[in-house]
């Protein structure tokens, strides 16, 4: 699998010598960390996390989105790794849901205001009341669907999108919003979440929030695994 040398996430997945993770931590040794890996996806920490446990579910091969355009087998695989994230990130918090959001595109992003062109789905433990408040503030088209297959179908109507939804411990249903993101400002949902919880440190480009990032890594991440070479071991 080839890396995209101009992509910071690809460099992090390949465990490059210096990455945005090592820069955020101020630690040149920790260049990469993973919570879960499947054949096509990986869960890595979000640099500049908004809460402890804030992660990115990313594609292992460079892509402009995570959810849109996947075939049935990959959607099933995505559902499986989402369930693994739920088990690892909210299993000890009965009042939490896993809040997921993605700014993605069905074509290669050229001039998008999204912070990176590598497909990534944010995942963070969040209370239901806070999730509802953020979704209300965002607007967009509300949906309630039984599976990622149905959500994938919704995204075919818009070229560049923001989708946000929550997952409960049983991952039984997806409820959230989808909106056209062609003119959405950079880090739009990060700002909405930060406003909801009173966190002024929302800009990962200027503040890696090393303390909260280390708290996230303590939740069971493995360090320095070259995801482009590693394959998921049979269970």
**CA 197 centroid distance within chain:** 19
Give tens-digit pLDDT for 83-93: 999 999 887 67
C-alpha–C-alpha distance, residues 55 and 35, integer Å? 9
C-alpha–C-alpha distance, residues 38 and 109, integer Å? 25
Q: Is residue 28 part of a domain?
A: no
CATH of residue 159's domain is 3.30.428
The strand pair at 120-127 and 160-167 is best described as unpaired
Q: Is residue 160 part of a domain?
A: yes
Compute the average pLDDT of residues 70-96: 88
C-alpha–C-alpha distance, residues 163 and 180, integer Å? 9
pLDDT of residue 115: 54
Q: Is residue 216 part of a domain?
A: no
C-alpha–C-alpha distance, residues 173 and 22, integer Å? 36
Q: Is residue 138 part of a domain?
A: yes
pLDDT of residue 182: 82
Rg (CA), the chain: 16
Give tens-digit pLDDT for 127-166: 999 999 999 999 899 999 999 999 998 888 888 899 999 9
Q: Is residue 159 part of a domain?
A: yes
Give the lowest-confidence range in 101-105, 129-133, 227-231: 227-231
Can you tell me whether residue 81 is helix, strand or coil? Answer: helix
pTM score of the predicted model: 0.88
Number of domains forming the structure of the chain: 1
Give tens-digit pLDDT for 4-53: 457 889 888 888 878 889 999 999 889 899 999 999 999 999 999 999 99
Q: How confident is the model at residue 63 (pLDDT cuts 50, 70, 90)?
A: confident
Domain residues for the domain of 96 are 40-206
């Amino acid at each position: 699998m080839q890396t995209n040398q101009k992509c910071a996430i690809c460099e992090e997945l390949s465990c490059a010598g210096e990455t945005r993770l090592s820069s955020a931590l101020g630690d040149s040794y920790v260049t990469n960390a993973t919570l879960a890996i499947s054949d096509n996806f990986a869960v890595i920490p979000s640099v500049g996390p908004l809460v402890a446990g804030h992660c990115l579910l990313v594609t292992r091969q460079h892509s402009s989105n995570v959810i849109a355009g996947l075939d049935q087998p990959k959607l099933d695989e995505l559902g499986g790794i989402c369930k693994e994230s739920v088990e690892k990130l909210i299993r000890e918090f009965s009042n939490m849901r896993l809040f997921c959001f993605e700014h993605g595109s069905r074509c290669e992003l050229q001039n998008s205001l999204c912070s990176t062109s590598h497909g990534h789905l944010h995942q963070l433990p969040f209370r239901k009341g806070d999730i509802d408040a953020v979704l209300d503030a965002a607007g967009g088209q509300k949906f309630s669907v039984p599976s990622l297959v149905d959500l994938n179908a919704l995204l075919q109507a818009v070229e560049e999108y923001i989708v946000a939804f929550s997952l409960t411990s049983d991952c039984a249903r997806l409820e959230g919003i989808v909106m056209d993101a062609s003119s959405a400002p950079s880090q739009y949902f990060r700002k909405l979440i930060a406003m909801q919880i009173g966190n002024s440190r929302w800009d990962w480009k200027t503040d890696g929030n090393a303390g909260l990032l280390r708290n996230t890594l303590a939740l069971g991440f493995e360090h320095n695994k070259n995801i482009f070479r590693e394959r998921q071991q049979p269970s």
